[in-house]
Amino acid sequence: MTRRKVFGGNWKMNHGLSETENFLQEFINTKISSDCDVVLFPPFTGLHLMQKYLKASGISYGAQNFHCEEKGAYTGEVSLAMLKELGCTWVLTGHSERREIFKESDELVAKKTRMALDHGFTPMVCIGETLDERKAGKTKEKLNHQVRAALFGMSETDVLKLTFAYEPIWAIGTGVNASQSDAQEGVKLVRDTLANLYGQSIANQISICYGGSVKPNNIEGYMSQADIDGGLVGGASLKADDFSTLVNNGVK
């Protein structure tokens, strides 16, 4: 079956207000394929500009992070209800930088993914192995564990609302590109775990992106692989022309 292609731009802690506005003014005037979902993940400070510029564009946007509680004494945190008021429809969960730097556990990733679904968001669930784990032959074990942990207690109906992103940690922001076969292998492992949990028919309906030094000049190669349905893009999503070119190359 044909799965929906998805291209996410994760800006991380980049682009202030003027840079965000400049990007959006250029991006909305660029011809971008409508045969896919395009999602921008700016810092919190840029979300109101996303709401202003993207409202009628067909381009989605979401948050890189959120807190599980609705409100309360959680200094520095932002709730899903607040994000919904800003027009967000997507969220990232499980990104390796949240897991490693901020010590988010598998249990917290599962809780946040569940909460996002309950609030009507589309979570993009990120998973990936370290270089040491890969060298030790533990990639399959790590990906299987992360997928199962993130989906604990979820029904078939729930899982069909998710998108996944396989991001080998050793290829994120390093300039080291996973080969097309490496990327396909990781994404296929994710799909195989989904098939073991929910059946092949369900697994075949779920979009799984690849992320890790994805660029306009290599996205076509990744997209040629049988199980890769899109890209979660970092640095190459910071310039409007680069990201639009990447998206258009990815749907060729």
pLDDT band for 173, please (50, 70, 90 cuts): confident
Mean pLDDT is lowest, of 18-27, 87-96, 127-136, for: 127-136
pLDDT at position 62 over 90:
yes
pLDDT at position 60 over 80:
yes
Query: Mean pLDDT throughout 171-191?
Result: 91
Compute CA 127 distance to the chain's CA centroid, rounded to the nearest angstrom: 10
pLDDT digits (tens, 9 = 90+) for 129-140: 999 999 999 999
Res 176: pLDDT? 75
Judge whether 41 and 71 are in contact, CB under 8 Å: no
Which of 176 and 43 is assigned the larger pLDDT? 43
pLDDT at position 188 over 90:
yes
Q: State the CB neighbour count (10 A cutoff) for residue 13.
A: 8
pLDDT band for 17, please (50, 70, 90 cuts): very high
Please tell me the distance from the alpha carbon of residue 211 to that of residue 222, in angstroms, as a whole number: 10
Res 1: pLDDT? 63
- Using a pLDDT cut of 90, give the percent of the chain over it: 94
pLDDT band for 49, please (50, 70, 90 cuts): very high
Q: Any idea which residues carry the catalytic annotation?
A: 95, 167
Residues with Cβ < 8 Å from 18, sequence gap 6 or more? none
Where exactly are the structural domains of the chain?
6-250
Res 172: pLDDT? 82
Res 177: pLDDT? 78
Query: Mean pLDDT throughout 145-159?
Result: 98
Residues with Cβ < 8 Å from 53, sequence gap 6 or more? 21, 24, 25, 28
The amino acid at 110? A
Model confidence, pTM:
0.96
Domain 6-250 has CATH 3.20.20.70: yes
pLDDT at position 159 over 70:
yes
Q: What letter does residue 67 receive in the DSSP assignment? A: B
- Using a pLDDT cut of 70, give the percent of the chain over it: 100
Query: Mean pLDDT throughout 27-55?
Result: 96
Please tell me the distance from the alpha carbon of residue 54 to that of residue 51, in angstroms, as a whole number: 6
pLDDT at position 241 over 90:
yes
Res 143: pLDDT? 98
